[in-house]
Structure 1
Amino acid sequence: MEDTSSARIRAADADRERVATTVQTAGAEGRLTLDEVEERLSRVYSARFTDELAALTTDLPRPAPPSPGFPLTREALRRHPALRVHLAVVVAIAVLVVVRWAVLGAGFFWPAFPVFWLGMSLLVHARVRSVRQRPRAAVPY
């Protein structure tokens, strides 16, 4: 008979805490009764292997990934110098086209179109940066 326990991975305290948080969240959402939460938490903290932890959350839905906020923030500008340069270029071109419009005395405010597309390019740039920098979510057990 082959020893299957040697192929199993031992659970770390961080693994247990992650599963305990999942169980507590499910209880807070009303997916588990108080008795079920207590029972599962006692089994979480007594689990020795990760497959035992996985069995405690298989019937629970996975959490939805966090929705990203507005991509163009001061923090994003601080972290990404390319965004600062892009913002400076957008502002400089916007000022130039508005000044040109004002000096030429055109009645129709045509700079609205290039300024809009410049702003959109900046938002797309910031969004791409935020998606690339988003940490990968750990898979709960």
Structure 2
Amino acid sequence: MAKEVSGPGRRVSEPRLETLRAADSDRQKIADQLKAALDEGRLSLHEYDDRVGEAYAARTYADLIALVDDLPRPGMSAADVTARREAEARRSARRMPTALVVLWTIWGALTAVNLVVYVLVAVTTSGHLYPWPIWMLVPGAALGVVTAGVQTARGRRQR
């Protein structure tokens, strides 16, 4: 039977990972993960027996993933799972919006260019030179106030 190809050596539809056939080693890994869940008290003996039987009868990765989808990684306690979720929530609350990241990047680039030009002019001329890069502090301060306000508002909203 000929393969359907579109272009040199490419299949028309690449199979998704879940539809691929599982190997014996994959089934054994899932069985080991189920044994760890049994040892931690997450599964009853009857449920463990059912799932291990289904694991050894599984044909695809989707069949195997369904057996351990509701279980945390081996060795993780409920406190670990809760702590990880809370840490992720704190991390997302501290994350700046993309618009502010872009504005800070633009301000930083303009400030760097101003400082480099100022240093080059100061080195090549004699006498007193007005420190015009100091004016970059004005938009920087305004951007800092806006950032603090946005982060405070986001913190209140998530409580």
TM-score class normalised by the smaller sequence: 0.3 to 0.5
TM-score by length of 2: 0.36
TM-score by length of 1: 0.40
Larger helix proportion of the pair: 2
